A and B are shown apart, each in its own frame.
Chain A
Amino acid sequence: MAVAHGHDDHHHGELHNPMEPTRQEQIVMNRFGLWLFCFSEVFLFMALLAARFYLWRDPVQGALRPELEQGPALIFTCVLLVSSWFMNRAEVASANEDMKTFNQSLAMTFVMGLIFLLGVIFYEWGLGLAHPHILPTDGAFGAVFFAMTGMHAIHVITGLIFVAIVWRNGNLGHYSREDHWGVEACAIYWHYVDLVWIFFYPAIYLIGIGVHIPGH
C-alpha cells in the first residue's frame, strides 16, 4: 500500500506537485465550495423551519406563534441587517486596498453582530432578565424557539470569529487587490447568516396567531 515517489522529487527534497492548482484556480474552487456549503446549510435551516411550521400550529386556527415582545426583536433584526451593509463595504475596501475603510467597516460589522448576539442571549433568551419571556421547557414553543435562535446564534458566533480573524489578517497585510479571498469568504458567510435570519425572524415573531405563554 505504499505510495511510490521519487520520480518527481524536487531539488530541495520537497515533493512538488506538477498539477498543483494556481492560486486563482484555487480561489475559484474555494468560492464554489463555499456556495455549496451555504446550499448544504439551507437543509439545516429548512429542517428547523419545518419543525416550526409542523409543531406551532393548531388544527383549526392554523399557524401559531408565542407572544413575544416585538420591539426589541425588530431592533436587533435591523442591527443585524445593517451590519451586512458594512460587511459589503469592508469587502469593497479590501478590493481597493483601502485599509482605513476596511478597518472601520469591519469594526462596525463586528460591533453590530455582537449587539445582535448579546440581544438574543440576554434579552430574547432572558438570561439577563428576572422573568424571561420564554423558557426552553415551554412546550413546543420553547423548544423550537431556542433551537432556531440557538442554531442561528452559533452561526453568528462563528461569523464574529471569522470577522475578527479577517480583521487581524487584513492588518497583517495578507489581502491584496488580486487576492482577498479571506474577506470575500467572510462576507459571503456573513450575508448568508443574515439571509437566514430574514427567514427566521418572520417565522418566529410574525407568522401565525400569538399565544400567551402562562407563567411569564
Chain B
Amino acid sequence: MSKNAKHFSIVGVAIAIVTYLVYFILSTFFFELPEAASAEATIIDALFNGHYILIAFLFAIVVVPLVYSIVVFRQQEGDETDAPHIHENTVLEIAWTVLPIFLVIGFGVWGVSSYNQVIASEPDEVTIRVWGFKWDWLFYYPEHDNINDPALVLQEGVPVKLEMQSTDVIHAFWVPKFRVKQDVFPYDVENQDLNFGNADYSPDEVFYEPQVIRFTPVVEGVYRVRCAEICGTNHYAMLANVFVLSPSNYQKWLDGEFLLPPDPNQGNSQIQDGVDTYLLELERFDINTGYTPPPDPFAVPEAEAGEDG
C-alpha cells in the first residue's frame, strides 16, 4: 500500500505540473486567439480560457498515468508472469461517472450564460443589412438612406445588429477577430417584400426573420469577413473588408470625404491570383486618413503641363 502511495503522490505532483505547462502552452502560444476586437470577443475568450484549463487538466490526468505506467510498470526483462488480478472497483467507477457530470453541468451553465450575453441586444444598436451571394457580400445601411457598399463600415464602440440573408445558397458571416459567426440562409427572392434593396422593405416578423448577429466593435482597424460555409467555386475568395472607424472618420465616410479602397471582388469577377489580391489595395489605406488612390499613370504631371503651356 505504501508503494502505491508513492506512485500516486508522484503522479499527483506530475499532473499538477503538466496541467500548468499545457495550459501555459495553449493559452500563450499554441491556441492563442487572434486579437479581440469586439466586446463579445472578451466574453467568448473567457470561455475559451476555461476550456483551455479543462483541456490541460484532462490531458494531464490521462497522459501522466499513461506515461508513468509505460515507464514504471512495463514488463521487466525475463518476467513472463501476469500482472495483478484487479478487475473492478465500484466506488472508483461511480466516481468517474458522476464527477464528469458536475463538470458538464458547470460548463453547460457557463456556456448558456456566455451565449446569452453574446446574443443579447443593446438599446442603441445600429442596424445594417447584409446580402451574401455567390461570391461576395453587399451591405445596406438603412439608417443612412439605405445606401449600399461592398465593404462593412462600422463605428468604433457602437453596437451593431446585422440582419442577413442570402440570395442563393447558404453562406456564413465570420470575422475571426470579432469571434462571431452566423450562417446566412437563402430567402424567398420571388417575394419583393423581403428584398433589402427595396425602399419599403418591411417583412412581417411572424412569418419571416432574417438571420441576426450582434456585436460591438471596440478596436479601430481593418478586418475581413470570411464566408465560412462551402458555397461553390469561389467560396475561398468570398471575402469583404470591414472598416472600424472612429466616430469622426465614420461621419466623414458618410459625407464622402473618407475614401475606402476599392473592393477587389466587386462585380463578382473571379480572383485568379488567390485571396492575397485583397491585400494589394490595403497598402494604400490608412485607418486615420483613408485611402489614397494611386497616381493616374496617364495624367500629365502638373509641372510638365506648365512647361508645355
Q: Is A60 an interface residue (CB 8 A)?
A: yes
Residues of B within 8 A of A60 (CB): 206
- Residue-by-residue, is B204-219 near A (CB-CB < 8 Å gives 1, otherwise 0)? 0011000000000000
Task: Select from chain A the residue with minimum beta-carbon distance to B204.
Answer: A59
Nearest A residue to B208 via CB reads A59
In the assembled complex, the Cα of A34 lies from the Cα of B207 at a distance in Å of: 45
A59 CA / B206 CA spacing, docked (Å): 7
Contacts of B206 in A (CB 8 A): 59-60
In A52-98, the 8 Å CB interface with B consists of 59-60
Complexed CA–CA distance, A80 and B207 (Å): 39
Nearest B-chain residue to A60, judged by Cβ:
B206
Query: In the complex, which residue of chain A has the Cβ closest to the Cβ of B206?
Result: A59
Q: Which residues of A contact B (CB under 8 A)?
A: 59-60
| Selected A-B contacts with CB under 8 Å, 3 pairs | A59-B206, A59-B207, A60-B206
Report B-chain residues with C-beta under 8 Å of the C-beta of A59.
Answer: 206-207
Chain B, interface size category, equals: under 10
Quote the shortest CB–CB distance from A189 to chain B (angstroms): 40
B191 to chain A, nearest CB (A): 13
Nearest Cβ on chain B to A11's Cβ, whole angstroms: 45
State the CA gap A60–B207 with chains docked (Å): 8
Q: Which of B14-56 contact A (CB under 8 A)?
A: none
Q: From A58, which residue of chain B is reached at the shortest CB distance?
A: B207
Shortest Cβ gap from A55 to chain B (Å): 14
Q: How far is the CA of A60 from the CA of B205 in the complex (A)?
A: 11
Q: Which chain B residue shows the least CB distance to A59?
A: B206
Q: Give 3 nearest A-B pairs by CB, closest first.
A: A59-B206, A59-B207, A60-B206
Chain A min CB distance to B304 (Å):
68
Nearest CB of A to B193, in Å: 16
Q: Give chain B nearest CB distance to A67 CB in angstroms.
A: 21
Minimal beta-carbon separation of B34 from chain A (angstroms): 38
Shortest C-beta distance, A74 to chain B (Å), equals: 33
- Residues of the A chain whose Cβ atoms lie less than 8 Å from the Cβ of B207: 59
Give the complex CA separation of A59 and B208 in angstroms: 9
Q: 1/0 per position for B280-303, CB-CB distance to A under 8 A? A: 000000000000000000000000
CA distance in complex: A59, B203 (Å)? 14
A59–B207 CA distance with the chains assembled, in angstroms:
6
Identify which of residues 160-206 in chain B touch chain A, using a CB-to-CB cut-off of 8 Å: 206
Task: Return B7 CB to nearest CB of chain A, in Å.
Answer: 44
Residue of A nearest to B209 (CB): A59
Scan B116-134; emit 1 where CB is below 8 A from any A CB, else 0.
0000000000000000000
CB distance from A176 to the nearest CB of B (A): 50
Complex Cα spacing A60 to B208, Å: 12
Measured in the bound complex, the distance between the Cα atoms of B207 and A120 in whole Å is 34
Q: How far is the CB of A138 from chain B (nearest CB, A)?
A: 15
Assembled-state Cα–Cα distance A60/B204 (Å) = 12
Complex Cα spacing A187 to B42, Å = 64
Please measure, in the bound complex, the distance between the C-alpha atom of A60 and the C-alpha atom of B206, giving whole angstroms.
Answer: 8
B281 → A minimal CB distance (Å) = 45
Distance from A60 Cβ to chain B, minimum over Cβ atoms (Å): 6
A102 to B207 CA separation, bound complex (whole angstroms):
56
Output the nearest chain A residue to B207 by Cβ-Cβ distance.
A59
Q: What is the minimal beta-carbon distance from B56 to any residue of chain A, in angstroms?
A: 40
Distance of A82 from chain B, by nearest CB (Å): 43
Which chain A residue lies CB-closest to B205? A59
Q: How far is the CA of A214 from the CA of B171 in the complex (A)?
A: 33
B306 to chain A, nearest CB (A): 71
